[in-house]
Chains A and B, each alone.
Chain A
């Protein structure tokens, strides 16, 4: 075990690089997924069939064909058509498109959940459609989206482990290297899984903070500052029913 630890310590710089690759995939994939989700999600709700039709088709195509197939398709087949992408770009693209399609459903559903009275009030005030969406509807749908985005983000992190198979030296790759070095499967995979867990946990905390802030902004719930300052006795007492 102490040998194992020594090997782990010796390979810390490589671990840093590996985590960086996984983070690049995560952040890049999530950013692309967000853009795709918003575009396709809004597209799925427009009145124009010319926009809505293709949006729906793309969403179903991306959701229905499996992340693994998409990733390897981009990696092996796209070059045949003359597009040779770097592995990292390939990974970000596959994660971003696949989870973007799932995110589009979240955006669509959350926009639909904003009460129609809000739309009508915005129309009555003569706000332009863009203004309506940007200032009235989207800010209210946003807190509803975040918890579901959090789930998708964790799934995206998990999916990023595929990168090893398109020759990227990500966290998953590091685990396997550590196993070769230590000859200790339980140790190396134990360490690796805990690292993935911590990454997912940190992202969840971050997203929860985002959710608190978003809710506070639309007038629901305390501010982030209030949540973070845990003062005993400040919690509201739950009233019982007689």
Chain B
């Protein structure tokens, strides 16, 4: 076993990986923030009665969602040469996941009972106020577990950023591996870190799910 696994190498690579872990977390937080806001905007826009808006938007959402994040990242990186790889990475992650989150919001909004809309109308609440004070607070509550699950998925997909050279923890491990020609410790540690971070978080989201249900 000792010729396969070296604790010395593990100790050597760990600082690089932990440095990368910060970028991984940053990407997840920024990406989730973009996705959560943009997803809501998309979900609201898709409820518009203007078909010139909803049809193209629907196609765009479907397109972004069913094509590879990896290819989108590289495409954006090659196209937007003025922006840093990190910026592009965060934004593409955010936009990609916004298409998923918009569906979560849509389901959450649809789940607000019709009686709530009717009561708001009977009280003559203006449209904007109805959304802000009545519908969204109820819808967002129902969407939290769904958004949380996608945030965890995004966390586990941040390694795709290696394709555009953003040094998150997988890229850090990969770079160490290509320098030393030994990947065992580096990749195993990254896997363990992903597991250690994502498993408790997903348990938390599951608890949230049962509590809000």
Q: Which residue in chain A gives the minimum CB-CB distance to B203?
A: A60
Shortest CB-to-CB span from B57 to chain A, Å, is 16
Identify the stretch in B31-39, B104-112, B194-202 within 8 Å (CB) of chain A at 4 or more residues.
Answer: B194-202
Question: Is B190 an interface residue when CB atoms closer than 8 A count as contact?
Answer: yes
Q: Which of A25-54 contact B (CB under 8 A)?
A: none
Q: Which of B4, B192, B198, B202 contacts A80 (CB 8 A)?
A: B4
Asked if B184 lies at the interface with its beta carbon under 8 angstroms from chain A, I say yes
Q: Is B69 positioned at the interface, with any CB of A under 8 Å from its CB?
A: yes
- B157 close to chain A: CB less than 8 A: yes
B183 touches A196 (CB 8 A): no
Q: CB distance A66 to B67 under 8 Å?
A: no
Count the A residues whose beta carbon is within 8 Å of the partner chain — how many? 38
Nearest-neighbor residue (CB-CB) of B155 within chain A: A66
Kindly identify, within residues 12 to 48 of chain B, every residue whose CB is under 8 Å from any CB belonging to chain A.
none
B163 interface residue (CB < 8 Å to A): yes
Contact A65 B195 (CB under 8 A): yes
Cβ proximity bits B43-60 to A, threshold 8 Å, 1 near / 0 not: 000000000000000000
Q: Which of B65, B170, B182, B188 contacts A68 (CB 8 A)?
A: B170
Residue of A76, A157, A165 with most partner-chain B CB within 10 A: A76
Q: B70 on the interface (CB 8 Å rule)?
A: yes
Q: How far is the CA of A118 from the CA of B1 in the complex (A)?
A: 51
Contacts of B202 in A (CB 8 A): 63-64
Contact A76-B187, Cβ < 8 Å, known A61-B195, A192-B71? yes
The reply to whether the CB of A55 lies closer than 8 angstroms to some CB of chain B is no
Tell whether A119 is near chain B: CB-to-CB under 8 Å: no
Residue of B nearest to A72 (CB): B187
* CB-defined contacts of B68 to chain A, threshold 8 Å: 157-161, 172, 196
The segment from B72-80, B120-128, B139-147 found at the interface with A is B72-80
Nearest neighbor of A165 in chain B, beta-carbon distance: B163
- Chain B's nearest CB lies how many Å from the CB of A67? 7
Determine whether B97 belongs to the interface, using a CB cutoff of 8 Å to chain A. no
Interface check A83, CB cutoff 8 A: no
Q: Which residues of B contact A77 (CB under 8 A)?
A: 183-184, 187-188
B159 / chain A contacts, CB cutoff of 8 Å? 66, 68-69
Q: Indicate if the CB atoms of B162 and A161 lie closer than 8 Å.
A: no
Interface centre among A69, A76, A175, A185 (most CB of B within 10 A): A69
Q: Cα distance A80–B163 when bound, in Å?
A: 25
Given A68-B159, A159-B68, A172-B70, A76:B183 Cβ within 8 A: yes
Known: A69-B187, A197-B66. A175 touches B71 (CB 8 A): yes
Interface string of B170-193 (1 = CB under 8 A from A): 100010010000111001101110
The smallest beta-carbon distance between A97 and chain B, in angstroms, is 13
Contact of B66 among A158, A160, A176, A179 (CB under 8 A): A158
A106 to B: closest C-beta gap in Å? 14
Taken together as a complex, chains A and B put the C-alpha atoms of A81 and B160 apart, in Å, by: 26
- When distances are taken between beta carbons in the complex, the residues of chain B under 8 Å from A64 are 156, 194-195, 198-199, 202
A70 at the interface (CB under 8 A from B): yes
A77-109: CB near B (< 8 Å → 1, else 0) gives 100110000000000000000000000000000
Known A77-B183, A77-B187, A193-B72: A68·B66 in contact at CB below 8 Å: no
CA distance A67 to B158 in the complex (A): 10
> Is B194 within 8 A of A196, CB to CB?
no
Whether A189 contacts B187 in the complex (CB less than 8 A), given A158-B67, A161-B68, A196-B68, comes out as: no
| B residues at A contact (CB < 8 Å) | 4, 62-63, 65-72, 74-75, 78-79, 156-157, 159-160, 162-163, 170, 174, 177, 182-184, 187-188, 190-192, 194-195, 198-199, 202
- Which residues of A are at the interface with B, using a C-beta cutoff of 8 A? 60-61, 63-70, 72-73, 76-77, 80-81, 154, 157-162, 165, 172, 175-176, 179, 185-186, 189, 192-193, 196-197, 200-201, 204
Known: A72-B170, A76-B184, A185-B75. 9 other contacts (CB 8 A): A63-B202, A69-B159, A72-B174, A76-B183, A80-B4, A158-B66, A172-B71, A176-B74, A185-B79
Q: List 5 A-B contacts (CB under 8 A).
A: A66-B170, A69-B159, A69-B187, A69-B191, A158-B69
